[in-house]
Amino acid sequence: ALTIGIVGLPNVGKSTLFNALTKNQVLAANYPFATIEPNVGVVNLPDPRLNVLAEIFSSERILPATVSFVDIAGIVRGASEGEGLGNQFLANIREADAIAQVVRGFEDSDVVHVDGAVNPASDMETINTELVLADLQTLERAIPRYEKEVRGKKIDTAVLDAALAAKEALDTGAPLSATKVDISPIKELGLLTAKPFIYVFNVDEAVLTDAGRKAELAALVAPAQAVFLDAKIESELIDLDPDDAAELLASTGQDESGLNQLARIGFETLGLQTYLTAGPKEARAWTIGKGWKAPQAAGVIHTDFEKGFIKAEIVSFDDLVATGSIAEARAKGKARIEGKDYVMQDGDVVEFRFNV
Ligand code: GDP
């Protein structure tokens, strides 16, 4: 499953946000190190197209695509050296496909800030430095092993070269994503600073409605994407019915919840897209990578669909809406039969034909 790991200093609102993500109450407490067990929260990717499909096909239920978030412990300065929560916790993010860094923008004198004051730029620097140090440590352990394996002709020298180039870049303090180092030969190391990043600013209502301040914060992290939310409001939103939730959002100048934004931006950051299936039982979105071909996409539904793939009947979502039904789409020549080399497009409405 594709997952996004949540990191951040202690007391920035990770647990509060994660509660909202899972609708479960995990431990949220006003002291550092409250969050110690990794947890996974799954959120739906909002997709209004599914409601339209469910109407056209009279589907009983709607199953959106999902994005998984892993909640991992707060990092403190020195985490890479084993102070605070240390390395075992960083190990949990090595598996993640992307990292969401929660940054505190809210002021509250009752909530202790580990460094004494709320300062988003310096907090991000602390975390990013820890991640760079953690990657350096990983490489310092791996390089002697790679050297030995190259001497024994067990691995290609490209692996060692990539590790050395990565170390050299990190020694300058740069995260790998900001360098041109090709780390594909050392993927197995799960280097943290090479992962795509999303920044989640946990802010007050005053900032949510302040476009200028948001632009300043977004500029600090560009080209990475920034999401602005108030974790406390997010956790209130999940308990409200849709109308009341919309009203609360509107009162804070938003038209989409922070969690929805996070799911959407997470999906984009991971380079994912969806195709759609629909019938009387369900209207459903399936997650695939950009550029995937039809058989691989079919494999997401079932491995047998990929193995026995024959062809796919595809109508684009827009054509389906314009014609009103699959039968009409066929009659108007809008339903295409595609073979195994077809590159899937976002919003394709698909029916696969396969051998079992
Ligand atoms: P974590 O250590 O990063 O997981 O932080 P928590 O989620 O446990 O939050 C630490 C404290 O800050 C808790 O007392 C939360 O209620 C509070 N908190 C979290 N988000 C907000 C927020 O947006 N505004 C305010 N005022 N307090 C918040």
Q: What ipTM was reported for this prediction?
A: 0.95
Task: Tell whether domain 291-354 is in CATH 3.10.20.30.
Answer: yes
Identify the residue whose tokens are 């019938």: 279
Residue-by-residue pLDDT tens, the chain, 356 positions = 568 888 888 888 888 888 888 764 333 333 344 444 456 777 888 899 999 999 999 999 999 988 888 877 666 666 666 554 455 566 677 888 899 999 998 877 777 776 777 788 888 998 899 889 989 999 999 999 999 999 999 999 999 999 999 999 999 999 999 899 999 999 999 999 999 999 999 998 889 989 999 999 999 999 999 999 999 999 888 888 889 989 999 998 888 888 889 889 988 888 899 999 999 999 999 999 999 999 999 999 998 899 999 999 999 999 999 999 999 999 999 999 999 999 999 999 999 998 87
Ligand 1 atom showing the smallest separation from residue 106 Cα: 24
Which among 30, 35, 198 is positioned nearest to 113, based on CA atoms?
Answer: 30
Is residue 203 a known part of a binding site?
Answer: no
Q: Which residues line ligand 1 (CB under 6 A)?
A: 8, 10-16, 28-30, 34-35, 74, 106, 108, 111, 202, 230-232
Which among 326, 328, 334, 325 is positioned nearest to 351, based on CA atoms?
Answer: 326
Count CB neighbours of 241 within 10 A: 7
- The structure's pTM equals 0.84
CA 310 to chain centroid, in Å, comes to 33
| 7, 14, 15, 16: residue to mutate for ligand 1 pocket, most atoms within 8 A of CB | 16
Decide if 38 contacts 14 (C-beta within 8 A): no
Decide if 310 contacts 353 (C-beta within 8 A): yes
Question: Could you state, in order of their start, the residue ranges of all structural domains in the chain?
Answer: 291-354
Ligand 1 atom showing the smallest separation from residue 230 Cα: 23
